[in-house]
């Protein structure tokens, strides 16, 4: 099973958001989403019962949930058409329900703090609007296998995280890719995030996070 999330976006467990402890996976079971492993047409908008929708990137497809481990409830996993022989890159979208409200700034600061490890580098960090909501954005690089970061990995592996708090839930988007593929896969991820639509409401404090 691939571990798609090694560094943390935060450690809230009872405090755990985008972090290292792996929680049980559950399909979001949305009837409007394509069956796991099928190929939605490029440019087709895919809706999910977790309250979001995205436009399927060209040359990518959905992948069964069994092929990923994430710290939350996995809703969608997208992989390039060459997966897994040519690349282990993936985009995972998952939800976390920590049971209390957190602002994007707190998530970002906790995540950056968790990445103070040998061999890891934070390349970008900011609070930015995503789907009309205030979100954290974090780009990091570390050792791994191209599909996951691991402290003993030998392949430089990039991750880009977007975390959107909405009330007591956080919607998380994660790109994991070998550094060699980063330019192209980052462009795909940024285009997906740009067209992302998310339902739900943020608290006033979450909206105002800077």
> Taking Cα atoms as reference points, which of 188, 190, 157, 191 lies closest to residue 87?
157
> Taking Cα atoms as reference points, which of 197, 129, 125, 130 lies closest to residue 159?
125
pTM of the model: 0.84
List the domain boundaries for the chain.
45-208
In whole angstroms, what is the distance from residue 39 CA to residue 100 CA? Answer: 36
The pair of structure tokens assigned to 91 is 């985009």
Decide if domain 45-208 falls under CATH 3.40.50.300.
Answer: no
Give 166-200 pLDDT, tens digit per residue.
999 999 999 999 999 999 999 999 999 999 999 99
In whole angstroms, what is the distance from residue 35 CA to residue 174 CA? Answer: 21
Q: Is the pLDDT of residue 26 over 70?
A: no
Q: Is the pLDDT of residue 17 over 50?
A: no
The pair of structure tokens assigned to 163 is 């975390």
């Amino acid at each position: 099973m691939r571990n798609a999330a090694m560094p943390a976006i935060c450690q809230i467990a009872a405090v755990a958001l985008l972090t290292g402890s792996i929680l049980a996976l559950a399909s979001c079971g949305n009837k409007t989403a394509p069956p796991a492993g099928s190929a939605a047409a490029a440019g087709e908008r895919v809706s999910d019962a977790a309250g979001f929708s995205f436009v399927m990137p060209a040359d990518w497809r959905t992948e069964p949930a069994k092929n990923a481990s994430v710290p939350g409830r996995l809703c969608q996993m997208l992989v390039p058409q060459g997966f897994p022989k040519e690349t282990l890159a993936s985009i995972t979208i998952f939800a976390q329900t920590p049971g209390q409200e957190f602002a994007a700034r707190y998530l970002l600061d906790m995540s950056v703090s968790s990445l103070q490890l040998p061999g890891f580098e934070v390349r970008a960090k900011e609070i930015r609007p995503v789907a009309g909501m205030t979100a954290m954005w974090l780009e990091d690089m570390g050792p791994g296998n191209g599909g996951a970061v691991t402290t003993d990995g030998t392949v430089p592996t990039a991750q880009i995280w977007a975390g959107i708090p909405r009330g007591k839930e956080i919607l998380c988007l994660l790109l994991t890719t070998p550094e060699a593929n980063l330019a192209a896969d980052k462009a795909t991820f940024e285009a997906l995030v740009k067209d992302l639509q998310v339902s739900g409401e943020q608290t006033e404090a979450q909206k105002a996070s800077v």
